[in-house]
Amino acid sequence: MIKKIFAFLLLIALAGVFLVVLQNYETPEELNLTAAYYAEHGAEEVGAANLVSAIVVTYRGLDTLGEVTILFLTASILSFFLKQREERGKRSVRASSELLRTASAVLVPFIFLLGAYVFINGHLSPGGGFQGGAIIASGLVLLLLTDPLRKVSSRLLARVESASGFIYVGLGIAGIFLAGGFLDSRVLPAGTFGTLLSAGLLPILYILIGLKVGTELSGLLTRFQEVQVPDGGDSPDLKKGENV
Amino acid sequence: MSSFGSVPVKILYALLSIFIVMNIGLLLQGVTRKIYARVSKRIGIRFYQPYIDLVKNYFLRDLVSHGVMFYLGPIFRLTSGVGMILFIPLIYGSPVFSNFSFSGDAVLVLYFMFFGTLGMALGSGESGQPYSAIGVARGLAQVTAAEIPLILSFLAVFIQYQTLSISTIVGAQQGGFMHWTMITNPLATATALLAFLGSMMRSPFDVVLAPQEIPIGPPTEYHGAFLGILQTNRAIFPIAKTILYVNLFFGGAGNWFEFIIKAFLLYMWSVVVGTVFPRYRVDHSIRWFLKVPLALGLLSIIFLQIG
Amino acid sequence: MVDQLFFNPIYIIGIGLAAAFFLGFFHRGTLAPRIIMVAVTAAFTIISLAWMQAFLLQGQTAEHGQAAAQVFTAGFQPPFSINLRMGAEEAFLTLLINISGLLGGIYLLDTLKKMGSHAVSVFIILIMGMNGIIMTRDIFNLFVFMEIVSIAVAGLIVLQKETNSLAAGFKYMIAAGIISVFLLLGIILAYAVGGSLNIDFLTAADLPGAKAGMIALFFLVIALLLELKPFPANGWALDVYDAAPAGVSAILAAAGSAAAYYALVKILPLGSSSHYTLVAAAGAVTFLGSNLLGLKQHRGRRLLGYSSVGQVGLLLIILGFSEVLGAQRDYIAAGIILSHSLAKAILFWLAGMLKQDGLEAWAALRKKPILLILFGSAVFALVGFPPFPSFFAKWELILLLNGGRFYLWSAVILGASFLEAVYLFRWFGYALKMDNEKLAEPEAPLFRLLPPIVFGILLYGAGWYMGSILEGFANFSYIPLAFILFLALIDRLPAWIKNTVSIAGVTFYIIDLYPRLEGDLLRLIFAGIFLIGAVLTLLSGYYYKGRRAGFYPLALTMFAGLAVLIEAANLLEFFYGWELMTIGSYFLLIRGKKSMPHGYSYMLFSVGGSFAMLFGFSLAAAGAGSIAMSALTGVTVLPMLAYSLMLVGFLTKTASVGLHIWLPGAHGEAVADIHFMASAILLKAGVFGLITVLLGMGAEASYTGPILFVLGWIGALSALLGNISASFQESAKRLLAWSSIGQLGYIVFGLATMSHLGWLIAISYSVTHFLYKGILFLVIGGIALKLGTPYMYKMGGLIKRMPFSFLAVLIAIITLSGVPPLVGFAAKWITYNLIISEGIYYQGFIVLISGIVAFLYLFRMIYTMFLGQLKDNLRTVREINIWFLIPVYLLLAAIMVLSFFPNMLLRPVGEMLSGYFPDGAIAWTGTLGTTRLGYYDGGAIMYVIGGIFVAALLFFFSLRKRTQQVKQFNIFYSGEAPSRPELSHFSYNFFAHYQKAIGVLTLPLVTNFWNWLSGILHGTADFFRRIYTGNGQTYAYHLVLYIVVVFFLQRGGM
Amino acid sequence: MSMDDIKKRKTVGPDGDTIEIDPLQDYYCSAVPSVSKEYQREIPTIIERFRNWARSESLWILAYGSGCGAIEMRPLMTPKYDAYRYGIQWRPTPRQSNVLIVSGYLSLKTLRIVIRAYEQMPSPKFVLGLGSCTINGGMYYDSYNTINRLDHYLPVDVYVAGCMPRPEALLDGFDLLKKLIKEGKGQGADLYAEKFTWYKANQKKILKTWDMPDYSW
Amino acid sequence: MNFGSLALGLGFLLILIGFWGLLTQKNLIKIVIGFSVVDTGVHIIMVGIGYLQGRTAPILDAALMQRTAAAGNQAGASADVGSLIVDPVPQALVLTAIVIGLGITALLLAYVVRLHEQRQSLDISSYEDLKW
């Protein structure tokens, strides 16, 4: 209890800090220097209609690379951290509902398709590699919800992930020699503004990112799936005999 | 001040000084013991008894030696006594009886005292006699305590006269007893007199010898001619000490008569105290020296500084 | 110039990520991932190295100068795209990180093998991420890289899957999450205000000018600060250091701290001076708090964590004082970072080799000496000893801080450094001396051994380089050090060869040095004491059969330090020599069997003293504007404090009262010839220092009065305490040790009088103390060595077995006690003259009675050892080793010569002193010296006393007595016969009655005081470290609380 | 000291070497006393006469009481008898004493001590047997534990008979001793040296366990 | 009322709520959830800061071009897209931030799984072995 009181007092103080922030924060009226530059030159320099994508993939490509790296890191860590043990017994899980099974069977292909669409069109419309990857991963979630014992080939996921990551970095380095610098998307010609094959490397990069993010998120999920408490564990929710 | 051309002459005079002082010392011993006996209503020894004892001891036939240091110990002791006599100007104004005082001042005399103590301690130490060692330990402890007021009183004198030279100090006291340090600096003199008691091996500070307890302390194993040497020194050394005090505090001695009188009186001071007071244990005597005499000594210096 | 095509910094990121992603194709167990890892980190290192080399060249030839390189990503100019920078600082830090990565990777090879290729890629990404933090110029990108590093670390923590590691990792992630939240807030607010994410543009945007900008900055700075684990919001970091695999902790401490530090370095210019102050304050609190709490820590890894956190605190202080430190900031920071990173990595790596983690268990290192050497190097580097970079860094730091009048700050720095030294040396002591029989041998295959060894070499190399580019140290002669290195290399040879080589070396040095010192008698005398003493001690070293591993390099280190003291051209060199000597002497002193607690306290007092000295020197230099030795003359900045501190520094070495408690034990347990070095020679270094300072101080200024008054009393009381305590010792060596305290007390007293005679005493005592103490130490030490015990009551009657030793000791103690006719008396005589002519009666009186007290212990020593009853088991002992007797008799000859001709020493010294103190000189006629007060004729006294002695002896011989030589039981024993020699040897508690009377003076008040102080410190540490409850939530609470408190403090302050 | 203390024993030196100790050999001087030059001379030289005078006028007594007769020695120091005036003094150590007064019966235990004390006195030295017990055992003549004739064990110069003799008798004994010394007859020490084997045999015969060196220097 | 400020306030509120969970809940998973809430709050703030009142998404599609033209006509000059869109940068940033948050959350959960495996407990106070 005393702990809660202290926490409460601390949060009051923190709220005070935030209040000070709010008091001093002045809502901007205009775009600032950087944003204005992007608004003005983003289209012509990068050739992407979606300015956010232009920024994400090109102007701040290094951030994106880092972000992909973080996902990769997390997946890698989980892969040796939550390593599946051989001695894990069979898991007994409650059967999924009819509704879920049917829905997933119908929806999952569409979800994957949507994901692919989102990252392929990332430079033109809202969305992008991350969003697409996340959508793909959500499809996997659905699959796993339907059949928690489904085996997902983590080997395949890892291969795709590594390959896309490697190519991504490779293209980035190519930018040093073929264009203005690391991760410069102008290795390929800009193309026609607003079309699918425009904005230089951007769509390709976004596809790679999408693949990578998708596989990484999926990888994460499968890792967690793999370490579920096996039968005979102390998880109270699982009752024996109710398995599929 | 010195020229070694006159070395043989110097040596002759030195021998003469030693002879005189030794006789004075022996006689004083005899007389003292006589007085001591009279006080306790005895007839007492013959006043020349110390001579006989000395002769007898020198004439005992055999010596038992425990080793080189044991052998040399008494020699060190005697060297110290004789050296002190020779480093002190005995008679004021007499170049003859100033002997070797050209080679050092009062500080030399003060520190040369320890030469014999050290030698004696080493000699008796080598005898392997544990009681000797106990005696030496007591003696050193007590002497170091007694030295504290002693050094203070000497310092007071040195400060008063702004010199370390004994003859200069004596010179400054000439012209009547009102010039004596005893009068001009009574506190220092009192301190010195109290400290004097501590180095005379008399009651109440004679637990060093403590006959019977640690048979006789440091010289337990010494006998025969060794003892003779020690006795010789015992005749000389107190006189040397006395005359140092006389020089520093009591106007020195202009002639041998004055010398004898002053030495006698000063000597008697320790005798009288010794007769009256019982023995202190070592830790008692150390504490005692660190009380009254130390306070007096510090006072004497403080007075000198403010006065 | 660096070829951008091959060494483009972006390659670090590119190659790193490509390799990491590529590793996804591999499976666990194959060798390839690890080869790739080593190759990649090596490539990183080469790139950094290429840049570093270019920047280093810049310093030397202007036309080949290398400007900082900017790398624009995406082909757009900043601020619109992210750019990286590779300047000198970045090159340095990335090099450090990459080497750590390379070696750390090698160290982790087997762990990584177990965990598979994913772990390898995580490792590569970690290193890449740290590089990114260093290079990036974009705050959001910085955030990304920091998160990469955080997550990678969180992943690597669990390479070792234990509950503790998991818990630590969880706490770490929570903390990292909270920090990232505030960092993001800061970034986005900064963006909102500054309109850019680029650091350089944000700097131009004047964030502090805007109201919200200040808050943005606050969040940025506090988040980066928290990333640097400020005390007390750093419990999570300690857990990580503690629980992570040692190899990972090593990289974290070495590279991680450097990266996080540099992130803050980049951000801070955005802010105003108040942010610098904030950082400095946080650093100070961290440095102090963390090191204080480290005191109670008894597990190695966690202690390393405390220390790491502390060192980062120091970096924060340096950063916070950027303005004050100016151009030197990077030099100082580099020095600290180098020392910290290299040393910490070594220590963590060592920790990884041990099976147990208790501090005591580090004794296992002793089974592999190379590890112990590495440990020692690391500890000394952390505390800031030469020749390590931190020494120079700390020097510059304190110098500049005090130059800028930031006294309190430098006091805090030194205080905290001292606390660090307290636990580091305690720990090192355990490693050196604890019983290690039951401990398993450290597991050190080559791949684990290699990294710490390389870092060890780098540590020394870096130290050398840092020294060579520091102004004031550039002309320093490294020849003696090279000689020491040579000795270290030939350490496998037998001792006598090394001994000969050492003697030849020192002799050559003396010949080389002499012409340079000619005419400067003061230095010549001390050079003589130091170096002739060196030859003599080394001469006695021939007694040693066998290898005597490690002795010669260390002994020569000490002598080299002493030689540097003599030759020092400026304060830095002086201080350098001082510290060098301290190192050497420390290792020499702890060679004894039970010497550890004493060696430890020696070290603490030495470190404390040298810090005081450093403070004083820096004040002096601040006033003078230069570090030349002349800066000590007439200090203008806080002169009283400056001089007092310098004096305190030197008084620790002279073991004066209050600062003496290390000496009896340290010297008492040292081996014979080392004891000689330590006491007869080493203590004189302190005297030399005092002389140097006092000469500069003079006696005219108003502040000198109190200083000299106190100094005089310190000297007098040291003399008294030393001598009285010596009387009550049972161990001969401790007795001599206390005696040294007393003797040094005379010297200090003499110096404090600031008069001709006083200094004459001091210098002549320095010489004679060297002579007679040399004899005593060698003989007593030789006997203790021979008999296997220093306890006097176990000896007795040795005169029969060791007559030569006895004679030497006899002469020595006569000299020491100042009894005429030997030269010791000269000093007593001058003391009287001094006391009366200068009117310092009370101090003088204390000094004089101490001289009398000296008789007590001298007699006790010579009696209980040489006289009395010879024990059963000593009946067949022989004379001490001839190699001890040779130097002893050389010293003895010197004493005899000086006794006949005291003018040989006193006259030239007097003439030299007349240059400083013209009044009160002794006038010399032959051997007769005359002062205003008295006179003293050494030669005549010798002749007269010798004459009397010979005459008395002749008289005695003339009696021609039959002499029966008898044996030891032929004594009068109350009619009984002694049964055993040990029962009739009066020796134990010799001065019992004396103790009864005045033992109260020897109550260990000083020891109690220091124990009390140490108890308070430890108690405080124990109380405050309870904030680290181990609960992740509490740590989260700490973090948020820290933010809130600092926020309101800063707002309140604005 | 017991017999155990003079048995050979072994000890280990500081270097680990074994040292064998033979206490009688190692700790005691094994020389025997020798006869002085003066003893062989028929007529004492002048200087020897002077020495003898000095010796007789300065009798230093070992302050040691072996039996009940010791009670009679004390009054000699009091004003009534004041033995000091005859040059007699008491010394606490045999090393500095010339006269050993065996004051009464001598038990075997005390005999051992007396012998040792006597041998430690520097020669010339004198023995004064006080009381009948030292002459023939007196009332303890048939005791299992006392000796009967002192001069079987030590050379006695003067006997003072009586049980107990008064202090006056003791003074008379001193007077006699002085005379003997002055006449050159105070040669007990030489006698002891000369007949050393006889004395030793007697001593060893009565003292069954002889646990000391033959001559205690 | 400005939507941007509203988002800011909302974000701060979320942060506080999240912290409440983080600091008071004993259950490890709830703590992670608390962290997620905090993280979300920050993301909302980020987006809120990029928001400009009355503007549209920064996608230069046909719709935006029309508005540009319309605005240009009103102003009588060639209007800038910059005056019509919200700041794209925070949106790009928040994308990264979200992913990073995801990574942290995933890792935290992995830790929870492992910790639970060790002690069969989700109480944070069960894991206090390392302290002082």
Of A4, A49, A224, the CB nearest to E59: A49
> In which domain, by residue range, is E9 found?
3-73+85-126
- Report residue A237's pLDDT band, with 50, 70 and 90 as the boundaries: very low
Contacts of C73 in chain A (CB under 8 A): 61-62, 181-184
Contacts of A234 in chain E (CB under 8 A): 120
Instruction: Tell me the percentage of chain C whose pLDDT exceeds 90.
Output: 19
Report residue C832 as tokens. 């009287």
pLDDT of A242 reads: 39
| Distance between CA atoms of residues C991 and C727, nearest Å | 7
CA-nearest residue to C297 within chain E is: E132
pLDDT of C58 reads: 65
Count of CB pairs separated by less than 8 Å, B with C: 247
Using the Cβ of B215 and the Cβ atoms of chain D, whether some distance falls under 8 Å is answered with: yes
Contact across the interface for A224 and E113, Cβ inside 8 Å: yes
Using the Cβ of C878 and the Cβ atoms of chain D, whether some distance falls under 8 Å is answered with: no
Decide if pLDDT at C699 tops 90: no
- Residues C836-881 pLDDT 10s: 888 888 888 888 888 888 888 888 888 888 888 888 888 888 888 8
Write down the mean pLDDT value for chain C: 87
**Average pLDDT of the residues in C952-961:** 85
Per DSSP, the three-state class of D68 is coil
Write down the mean pLDDT value for chain B: 85
- Residues A22-39 pLDDT 10s: 888 887 777 888 888 888
Contact across the interface for E96 and C140, Cβ inside 8 Å: yes
Contact across the interface for E85 and A31, Cβ inside 8 Å: yes
Q: Chains that contact A by 3+ CB pairs under 8 Å?
A: C, E
- Are D175 and D164 in contact by the 8 Å Cβ rule? The answer is no
- Give a yes or no: residue D33 inside a domain: no
Q: Chain B: give the shortest CA distance to residue D55, in Å.
A: 5
Q: List all residues 6 or more positions away from C591 whose beta carbon is below 8 Å from its beta carbon.
A: C551, C670, C671, C674
- Residues C185-233 pLDDT 10s: 999 988 888 888 888 888 888 888 888 888 888 999 999 999 999 988 8
Per DSSP, the three-state class of C70 is strand
Task: Find, among D5, D38, D33, D25, the residue nearest to D200 by Cα.
Answer: D33
| Distance between CA atoms of residues B307 and B295, nearest Å | 17
- Give a yes or no: residue D30 inside a domain: no
Contact across the interface for C972 and B67, Cβ inside 8 Å: no
Q: Chain C: give the shortest CA distance to residue E46, in Å.
A: 6
CA angle B213-B217-B218, nearest 5°?
165
Contact across the interface for A72 and C1044, Cβ inside 8 Å: no
Give the number of other CB atoms < 10 A from CB of residue D80. 10
Report residue C585 as tokens. 């002497």
CA angle D57-D59-D61, nearest 5°?
165
Instruction: Tell me the percentage of chain D whose pLDDT exceeds 70.
Output: 99
- Report residue C469's pLDDT band, with 50, 70 and 90 as the boundaries: confident
Contact across the interface for E60 and A43, Cβ inside 8 Å: yes
Contact across the interface for D55 and B56, Cβ inside 8 Å: yes
pLDDT of C454 reads: 92
**Rg of chain E's alpha carbons, rounded to an integer?**
22
Q: How many CA atoms lie within 13 A of C327 on its CB side?
A: 2
Instruction: Tell me the percentage of chain A whose pLDDT exceeds 70.
Output: 88
Contact across the interface for C1032 and E22, Cβ inside 8 Å: no
- Residues A196-226 pLDDT 10s: 777 777 888 888 888 888 888 888 887 777 6
- Give a yes or no: residue D7 inside a domain: no
Using the Cβ of B276 and the Cβ atoms of chain D, whether some distance falls under 8 Å is answered with: no
Contact across the interface for B221 and C971, Cβ inside 8 Å: yes
Contact across the interface for E22 and C1033, Cβ inside 8 Å: yes
Residue C284 is which amino acid?
Answer: A
Report residue A212 as tokens. 């990578």
Contacts of A40 in chain E (CB under 8 A): 80-82
Q: How many CA atoms lie within 13 A of C1022 on its CB side?
A: 8
Contact across the interface for C17 and A69, Cβ inside 8 Å: yes
> In which domain, by residue range, is C227 found?
214-470+1004-1054
Say if C and B touch: at least 3 Cβ pairs within 8 Å. Answer: yes
CA-nearest residue to E50 within chain C is: C192
Whole-number Cα distances in Å, C91 to C8, C59, C84:
12, 14, 12
Q: Chain B: give the shortest CA distance to residue D122, in Å.
A: 6
- Report residue C337's pLDDT band, with 50, 70 and 90 as the boundaries: very high
| Distance between CA atoms of residues C987 and B133, nearest Å | 8
Using the Cβ of B64 and the Cβ atoms of chain D, whether some distance falls under 8 Å is answered with: yes
Which of A70, A83, A209, A216 is the best substitution to test chain E (most E C-beta atoms within 10 A)?
A: A70
- Give a yes or no: residue C417 inside a domain: yes
- Are A95 and A104 in contact by the 8 Å Cβ rule? The answer is no
Contacts of A14 in chain E (CB under 8 A): 15-16, 19
Q: Chain B: give the shortest CA distance to residue D210, in Å.
A: 23
- Give a yes or no: residue E27 inside a domain: yes
- Residues B100-128 pLDDT 10s: 777 778 888 888 888 888 888 888 888 88
Using the Cβ of C465 and the Cβ atoms of chain B, whether some distance falls under 8 Å is answered with: no
Residue E17: which CATH number? 1.10.287.3510
pLDDT of C100 reads: 92
pLDDT of E13 reads: 92
Residue C272 is which amino acid?
Answer: S
Long-range contacts of D18-21 (CB under 8 A, 24+ apart): D19/C872, D19/C873, D19/C875, D19/C876, D21/C872, D21/C875
Chain C window 372-411: which residues touch D at a Cβ cutoff of 8 Å?
none
Task: Find, among C377, C394, C240, the residue nearest to C315 by Cα.
Answer: C394
Decide if pLDDT at C930 tops 70: yes
Please list the ranges in chain D whose pLDDT falls under 50. Answer: none
Instruction: Tell me the percentage of chain A whose pLDDT exceeds 90.
Output: 3
Q: Chain C: give the shortest CA distance to residue B38, in Å.
A: 32
Task: Find, among B223, B239, B226, the residue nearest to B19 by Cα.
Answer: B239
Cα C333 to chain centroid, rounded: 20
- Give a yes or no: residue C419 inside a domain: yes
Peptide bond into D124 cis (omega under 30): yes
| Distance between CA atoms of residues B215 and C196, nearest Å | 102
Residue D196: which CATH number? 3.40.50.12280
| Distance between CA atoms of residues B78 and C952, nearest Å | 7
Report residue C943 as tokens. 């002749």
- Give a yes or no: residue C929 inside a domain: no
Contact across the interface for E127 and C197, Cβ inside 8 Å: no
Contact across the interface for C976 and D9, Cβ inside 8 Å: no
Q: Chain C: give the shortest CA distance to residue D27, in Å.
A: 5
Give me the residue label for tokens 């206390």: C738
Q: Chains that contact C by 3+ CB pairs under 8 Å?
A: A, B, D, E
| Distance between CA atoms of residues C788 and A25, nearest Å | 80
| Distance between CA atoms of residues C559 and C677, nearest Å | 9
| Distance between CA atoms of residues B135 and C1012, nearest Å | 40
Of B75, B107, B131, the CB nearest to C953: B75
Contact across the interface for C975 and D19, Cβ inside 8 Å: no
Alpha carbon distance, N-terminus to C-terminus of chain D: 16
Q: Is B113 left (phi over 0), alpha (psi -120 to 50) or beta?
A: alpha
Q: Chain E: give the shortest CA distance to residue A26, in Å.
A: 9
Report residue E86 as tokens. 């919200």
Contact across the interface for B112 and C990, Cβ inside 8 Å: no
Q: How, if at all, do strands D126-130 and D158-160 pair?
A: parallel
CA-nearest residue to C952 within chain B is: B75
Which of C802, C959, C970, C973 is the best substitution to test chain D (most D C-beta atoms within 10 A)?
A: C970
Q: Buried b / exposed e across A177-209, counting CB within 10 Å, b at 16+?
A: eebbbbbbbbbbebeeebeeebbbbbbbbbbbb
User: In sequence order, what are the beta bridge partners of B65?
Assistant: C965
Task: Find, among C69, C42, C43, the residue nearest to C54 by Cα.
Answer: C69
- Are B25 and B235 in contact by the 8 Å Cβ rule? The answer is yes
pLDDT of A83 reads: 66
- Total tally of structural domains belonging to chain C: 1
- Residues A73-128 pLDDT 10s: 888 888 887 765 544 556 666 777 888 888 888 888 899 899 888 888 877 778 78
Long-range contacts of E13-16 (CB under 8 A, 24+ apart): E13/E41, E14/E38, E14/E40, E14/E41, E14/E44, E15/A14, E15/A18, E15/C181, E15/E41, E15/E42, E15/E45, E16/A11, E16/A14, E16/A15, E16/A18, E16/E41
- Residues E50-98 pLDDT 10s: 888 778 778 777 777 777 777 666 654 445 677 778 888 888 888 889 8
pLDDT of A87 reads: 47
Tell me the backbone φ, ψ of residue B104, rounded to 5 degrees. -175, 165
Q: Chains that contact D by 3+ CB pairs under 8 Å?
A: B, C
Contacts of A10 in chain C (CB under 8 A): 1037, 1040-1041, 1044
> In which domain, by residue range, is B77 found?
4-306
Prediction pTM value: 0.89
- Total tally of structural domains belonging to chain B: 1
| Distance between CA atoms of residues C406 and C598, nearest Å | 34
| Distance between CA atoms of residues C483 and C505, nearest Å | 8
pLDDT of A240 reads: 41
pLDDT of E79 reads: 55
DSSP string computed for C178-240: HHHHHHHHHHHHHHHHHS--BHHHHHHTTGGGSHHHHHHHHHHHHHHHHHT--TTS-HHHHHH
Using the Cβ of D35 and the Cβ atoms of chain B, whether some distance falls under 8 Å is answered with: no
- Report residue C516's pLDDT band, with 50, 70 and 90 as the boundaries: confident
- Across A127-131, C112-116, C506-510, C997-1001, the highest mean pLDDT is recorded for C506-510
**Average pLDDT of the residues in B243-253:** 87
Task: Find, among B221, C967, C984, C797, the residue nearest to D29 by Cα.
Answer: C967
**Average pLDDT of the residues in E19-32:** 91
- Give a yes or no: residue C342 inside a domain: yes
**Rg of chain C's alpha carbons, rounded to an integer?**
32
Whole-number Cα distances in Å, D83 to B115, C162, C899, D57, D60:
37, 98, 52, 11, 11
Which of E89, E93, E125, E132 is the best substitution to test chain C (most C C-beta atoms within 10 A)?
A: E132
Contacts of C150 in chain E (CB under 8 A): 104
User: Can you state the percent helix, strand and coil of chain D, rounding each to 5?
Assistant: 45, 15, 40
